[in-house]
């Protein structure tokens, strides 16, 4: 029976493994999206420092069976009060292990995360995903997300 709960600091090893699978998926979608030589170590520290904050809502939720099989993570967006947006959260990462897909777990992780953020006063949700990852883009569109902006990138070798 799958359930969803807030992540705790002792979940770090399992979350890190799930995040590494997510990164490998991203690199398979677009080879430009790859880790720096010490990127994994930096990321482990970043997860340790920021992902287990639980106020005013938990930044990381896990789907567990009872071992972690998926996660969602987001951050509060600071728009400095310049843009006329409702208080916002940006989902940074979402992952469901392949053998658990198409059972509604991804949708459920998003719904739980949105419910908790909304209850804490952050009703507006953003997400970024790789434009070449058609499955991920289709997933977010199916959940009602629409285009807002696009980030264009030119790699250094293309200059000149
Ligand atoms: C994207 C992902 C999280 C979806 O997880 P999931 O548990 O399979 O998703 P769900 O079963 O909740 O599906 C929710 C909806 O998304 C859509 N969807 C799911 N998989 C899809 C696919 N392969 N192609 C198109 N749409 C898809 C469907 O509309 C589905 O609704 P339905 O079940 O009513 O048809 C999972 O495929 C994954 O981990 N992918 C790799 C990482 C990734 O892309 N993360 C998102 C970017 S950060």
Q: Give the predicted TM-score (pTM) of the model.
A: 0.93
Does 104 contact ligand 1 (Cβ within 6 A)?
yes
Tally of helices (H runs) and strands (E runs) in the chain: 4, 5
Residue 160, pLDDT score: 54
Q: Could you tell me the CATH number of the domain that includes residue 141?
A: 3.40.630.30
Beta bridge mates, 73: 60, 93
Instruction: Go through the chain and tell me how many residues it has.
Output: 160
CA of 135 to the centre of ligand 1 (A): 7
Does 94 contact ligand 1 (Cβ within 6 A)?
yes
CA of 156 to the centre of ligand 1 (A): 33
Query: Looking at residues 4-30, what average pLDDT do you find?
Result: 96
Digit-coded pLDDT (tens) for 85-119: 999 999 999 999 999 999 999 999 999 999 999 99
**Residue of 15, 127, 139 with the most ligand 1 atoms within 8 Å of its CB, for mutation:** 139
Looking at the 3D structure of the chain, how many domains does it have? 1
CA of 102 to the centre of ligand 1 (A): 6
Residue 155, pLDDT score: 86
DSSP 5: E
Does 14 contact ligand 1 (Cβ within 6 A)?
no
Digit-coded pLDDT (tens) for 21-63: 999 999 998 898 899 999 999 999 999 999 999 999 999 999 9
Domain hosting 64: range is: 3-158
DSSP 144: T
Does 105 contact ligand 1 (Cβ within 6 A)?
yes
Does 29 contact ligand 1 (Cβ within 6 A)?
no
133: tokens are 């990852």
pLDDT of residue 159 exceeding 80: no
């Amino acid at each position: 029976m799958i359930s969803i709960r807030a992540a705790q600091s002792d979940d770090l090893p399992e979350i890190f493994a799930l995040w590494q699978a997510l990164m490998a998926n991203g690199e398979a979608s677009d080879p430009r999206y790859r880790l720096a030589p010490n990127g994994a170590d930096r990321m482990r520290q970043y997860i340790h420092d920021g992902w287990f904050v639980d106020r005013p809502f938990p930044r990381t939720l896990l789907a567990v069976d009872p071992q972690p099989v998926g996660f969602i993570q987001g951050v509060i967006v600071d728009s400095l009060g310049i843009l006329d947006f409702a208080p916002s959260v940006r989902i940074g990462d979402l992952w469901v292990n392949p053998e658990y897909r198409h059972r509604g777990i991804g949708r459920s992780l998003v719904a739980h995360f949105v419910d908790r953020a909304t209850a804490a006063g952050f009703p507006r949700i953003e997400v970024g995903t790789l434009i070449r990852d058609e499955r991920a883009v289709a997933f977010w569109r199916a959940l009602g997300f629409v285009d807002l902006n696009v980030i264009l990138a030119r790699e250094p070798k293309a200059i000149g």
